[in-house]
Structure 1
Amino acid sequence: MIAIDNKLISDHIIEEQFVCDLSKCKGGCCEDGDAGAPLELNELDELISNYNIIEPYLTEAGKTAIEKLGKYTYDTTYGWVTPTIRGEMCAYGFRDDKGILKCSIEQAYNDGKLSWKKPISCHLFPIRIKKSRQDPDLEYVNYEPREDLCKAACNLGKKLKVPVYIFLKESIIRKYGEEFYEALAATAEHIGKD
């Protein structure tokens, strides 16, 4: 474990390699799971205030699920999450012409219509953050790829020699800031020299 501020970071984040291989997994993390994407409290407001911008990117099934379930729902295990279409694909997802599952929120961001890229839990995947039950300020930052779904990403990461923390640099900085990332990178470099 690596300790930076009030975060305990799994060694796997600097030791393991990972690069998403969308041509193989087809964005399956957006439909494989027990619930929708976990949401932070500020992201609930993002979904409400930006829904009119996101809506044109949604599928009809996604719109129907959101009308029925709401822009977000509460899951007893994961807290606030995005709704899903019949308990499977995220309601904010759509498939492109290659069959790759993409995010409507991120597409609106890429088109310059939003300043919010997508839920941070999606942006950080396969890093998962869990809050300590004993200390609400303490966070566990873990590397949790899906065994079968992420096999291609793990293989590509090894082939390209890209550690998880480097692949996820943008999202780690988005979540914790530049100073945190620099401390993590320095720790990785130090450990690599041992």
Structure 2
Amino acid sequence: MFQIGKTIVSEDIIQKDFLCNLSACKGACCIDGEAGAPLDKEETKIMEDIYPKVKPFLRKAGIKAIEAQGTFITTELGDFETPLINGADCAYVIFDNKGTALCAIEEAYNQGEISWKKPVSCHLYPVRVREYTEFSGVNYEKWDICDDACTLGKELQVPIYKFVKEALIRKFGEDWYAELEKVADTFK
């Protein structure tokens, strides 16, 4: 682990490779698991504000889940997440004609309906950020459903931090990312 500003960063972020392979996994990270996508407090307001423009892109089951649970939920620990459909799929998941899970929020963004791409936790995946009182932990979340992404990343030599560059800059800023690149260079 190493420190950049008020973040403690796992060396896995720069040492391991990753490149999403949607043709292999079909977007399983959006439909598997036991919880919705983590949301920052600021994102909860955005979720409420964009819902009317995202709703036309949603499946009926997603609309039903959101209208029953809200545009986000608060966990027992006080964290915020996207709601789930019957404890499985993220309520914002849609599917393309090949059965690949996609994000309705991102689709609304791609179509120019909204100016917010998607929750930063989704944009950062497989990187997870955990907020602590004095610092943020930046870690790689290894999940076997992403084995094909690890294989493709290794084959094409794409380290995790490069795969999620845009999201890391969105979360921490250009200067932070430039520092990360300097650290990564020392590992070569």
TM-score normalized by the length of structure 2: 0.97
Aligned equivalent of 2:167, options 166, 171, 176: 171
In structure 2, what is the equivalent of residue 47 of structure 1?
A: 47
Amino acid at match of 1:102: L
Aligned equivalent of 1:139, options 136, 143, 146: 136
In structure 2, what is the equivalent of residue 130 of structure 1?
A: 130
For residues 8-55 of structure 1, the C-alpha deviation after alignment (integer angstroms, 9 at most, x for no partner) is 000000000000000011001001111110100111111111111000
Aligned equivalent of 1:155, options 132, 151, 158: 151
> Which runs of 5 or more structure 1 residues have no equivalent in the other structure?
none
Mapping of residues 1-194 of structure 1, within 5 Å: 1-77=1-77, 79-132=79-132, 136-146=133-143, 148-192=144-188
> Which runs of 5 or more structure 2 residues have no equivalent in the other structure?
none
How high is the sequence identity, in percent, across the aligned residues?
45
Q: How many residues align?
A: 188
* Superposition RMSD in Å: 1.0
Once the two structures are overlaid, the 10-residue window that deviates more, 70-79 or 115-124, is: 70-79
Structure 1 runs of 4+ aligned residues shifted over 4 Å read: none
Once the two structures are overlaid, the 10-residue window that deviates more, 40-49 or 73-82, is: 73-82
After TM superposition, give the deviation of residue 78 of structure 1 in Å: 7.3
For residues 130-163 of structure 1, the C-alpha deviation after alignment (integer angstroms, 9 at most, x for no partner) is 122xxx13111000121x2000000000000000
After TM superposition, give the deviation of residue 77 of structure 1 in Å: 4.8
After TM superposition, give the deviation of residue 76 of structure 1 in Å: 2.4
For residues 37-85 of structure 1, the C-alpha deviation after alignment (integer angstroms, 9 at most, x for no partner) is 0100111111111111000000000000011111111122571100000
Amino acid at match of 2:145: L
